[in-house]
Amino acid sequence: MKARGERICCLTVYDYSFAHMLDRAGVEILLVGDSLGMVIQGHPTTLPVSLDDAVYHTQCVARGCENALLIADMPFGSFQGDPQSAFDSAARLMGEGQAHMVKIEGGAVMAETVAFLVDRGVPVCGHLGLTPQSVNQLGGFRVQGRQESVADRLRQDAQSLQNAGASVLVLEAVPSGLAKEITQGLTIPTIGIGAGPDTDGQVLVLYDLLGIYPQKSPKFSKNFLDGAGSVSGAVQAFIEDVRSGQFPGPEHSF
Q: Out of 23, 34, 157, 241, which residue is the one contacting ligand KIV (CB under 6 A)?
A: 34
Shortest Å, Cβ 130 to ligand KIV: 9
Q: Out of 51, 68, 71, 193, which residue is the one contacting ligand KIV (CB under 6 A)?
A: 193
Residue nearest to ligand KIV (CB): 33
Q: Out of 186, 203, 225, 242, which residue is the one contacting ligand KIV (CB under 6 A)?
A: 203
Of the candidate spans 17-25, 27-35, 53-61, 215-223, the one that interacts with ligand KIV by CB under 6 A turns out to be 27-35
* Residue with smaller CB distance to ligand KIV, 23 or 172: 172
Q: Please list the alpha-helical segments (H only) found in the chain.
A: 16-25, 36-39, 51-62, 83-95, 111-119, 135-138, 148-164, 176-185, 206-209, 231-244
Shortest Å, Cβ 193 to ligand KIV: 5
Long-range CB pairs of 243-249 (<8 Å, 24+ gap) are 243/6, 243/7, 243/9, 245/7, 245/197, 247/197, 247/202, 247/222, 248/192, 248/194, 248/196, 248/197, 248/202, 248/220, 248/222, 249/197
Give the count of residues interacting with ligand KIV (CB under 6 A): 11
* Residue with smaller CB distance to ligand KIV, 84 or 140: 140
Q: Say if residues 31 and 13 touch (Cβ distance below 8 Å).
A: yes
Contact between 73 and ligand KIV per CB under 6 A: yes
Contact between 208 and ligand KIV per CB under 6 A: no
Catalytic machinery residues: 172
Q: Among 72, 92, 90, which Cα is nearest to 80's?
A: 90
- Say how far apart CA 254 and CA 70 lie, in whole Å: 28
Residues that bind ligand KIV (CB under 6 A): 12, 33-35, 73, 127, 170, 172, 193, 203, 205
